[in-house]
Amino acid sequence: MQSLSKNTKIFSLASFFVDISSEMIIWILPFFLSTVLAAPIFVIGLIDALRESVGKLVGIFAGVYADKTGKRKKLIIFGYSLSAAIKAFLIIATSWMHVLVVIFFERFGKGIRDAPRDAMIVISEKKENLGKAFGFRRMFDTFGAIIGPLIAMIILAFMLNINVENTYRFIFTVALIPAVLAVLILFFIKEESAKMQDEKKIIMSVLNAKNYKNFIFVSLIFAIGEFTIALFLLRAGEFVNILYIPLLGMIFNIFYAMFSVPAGHLTDRIGAKKSLIISWIIFMLAAIGFAFFASFQSVFILFAVLGLFTAMYKVAPSVYLSKVIPKEQYASATGLYQGIISLAVLPANLIASLLWSYGPTTVFAFPIATTVIAIIALNFLVKE
């Protein structure tokens, strides 16, 4: 990986520590909400939708501001710092509303940092290496996401029989340590000087880029059926004990890590459009499995399939946008893209929560239909 820039490697290491922290929390949070704070399914779906959407909406403004001023490093460090600090309040949360506020500001911080960070990677790398660079960062991100659930599972194994609530809160406390380490690493980033750009011209240039609007439209079709991981976890919880939930997270992230760099290489070779179609087909297979073949044994396989899907899906849009958008406006383009796509997260989770009353088969049949429509639309409306 000597061909990759120092900035990409620093971002990768920071992502490693952040995901240790985040993944210690993510996989147990739905059960903390349901068993300790007595939150209903609807609220759990709402909080997880908020977790997915807030950061991406904030990313619209963070991306435009980063491109306008050229000052990306400060935004990145502030975003990581906010996310790390707010996690401390999970330790003392006594209501699902407290968790909702924590998740809001934690994702707010993520939204501030993500688009400027990806833009710095685009600026730092050669165009032919972008798939590899994004895949490399995702791989480190996912290595952290493997270690996080492992730490949570070890703590659960030793403490769960003592006091369930205190076990959850102790996990939240330990999760603060890697989050702080990530912030400290980011001070070693080197930022190139950049010219000020006109905000309106940036937005108009991005929106007028060839295929950009069509790509967003097609991505929205898929996103309306891509509800968040919490509902997959609750489905798995019908078949496995809480002790095994972090293990599902580890399996998910092992496959995510294993295929992140290969997914980047594949995307560079066959193109982002074909890579995206492959990822959507994999997601559809996972949805079919959760709908019709869920069992104690199969949920472990299905979370591996979800990990493979995520490895492909996280790389392809980033690479596609880098091909159709000038690098000086990439933060705006990716922030706007992620922000618009996030608008589908809340309705996707609300639809899934409503369908839950009709049974899991109905819930997971819905994304199968939306994925088929998205693949057809991508073939007809988006060119590469």
Which DSSP string do the residues of 155-195 spell out, in sequence order? Answer: HHHHHTTT-HHHHHHHHHHHTHHHHHHHHHHGGG-------
pLDDT at 1: 45
Q: Which residues are CB-neighbours of 65 under 8 A, at least 6 positions away?
A: 75
Asked if residue 125 lies in contact with residue 133, where contact means CB atoms within 8 angstroms, the answer is yes
* Euclidean distance between CA atoms 234 and 245, whole angstroms: 10
Rounded Cα distance, 10 and 1, in Å: 13
Residue-range definition of the domain harbouring residue 230: 6-189+198-381
Residue 23 lies in a domain: yes
Range with the poorest average pLDDT among 204-208, 263-267, 352-356: 204-208
First to last CA, the chain: 27
State the Cα torsion 269-211-281-235 to the nearest 10°.
Answer: 120
What is the 8-class DSSP label of residue 90?
G
Amino acid identity for residue 40 in this structure: P
- Residue 237 inside a domain? The answer is yes
Amino acid at 193: S
pLDDT in tens, 231-253: 888 889 889 988 888 889 889 98
Q: Which phi and psi (to 5°) does residue 376 adopt?
A: -65, -45
Q: What are phi and psi of 195, to 5 degrees?
A: -80, 150
How many domains are there within the chain?
1
Tokens of 181: 């380490």
In a domain, 71, yes or no: yes
Digit-coded pLDDT (tens) for 64-101? 777 777 778 889 999 999 999 999 999 999 999 999 99
Kindly tell me if the per-residue pLDDT of 46 is higher than 60: yes
Tell me if 109 is assigned to some domain. yes
Q: What is the mean pLDDT of residues 297-308?
A: 95
Q: Cα(381)–Cα(384) distance, rounded to whole angstroms?
A: 10
Query: pLDDT (tens digit, 9 = 90+) per residue, 120-136?
Result: 888 888 777 777 888 88
Asked whether residue 46 is assigned to any structural domain, the reply reads yes
Confidence of residue 372 (pLDDT cuts 50, 70, 90): very high
| 383/287: higher pLDDT | 287
Return the closest-CA partner of residue 233 out of 19, 33, 16: 33
Q: Which residues contact 292 (CB under 8 A, 6 or more apart)?
A: 361
What's the pTM value of the predicted model, to 2 decimals? 0.73
CB 164 within 8 A of CB 301: no
Per the domain annotation, does 249 fall within a domain? yes
CATH of the domain at 102: 1.20.1250.20
1 within a domain of the structure (yes/no): no
- In Å, what is the CA distance from 198 to each residue of 65, 74, 117, 321? 10, 20, 20, 20
* Within a domain: 66: yes
The pLDDT assigned to 197 comes to 56
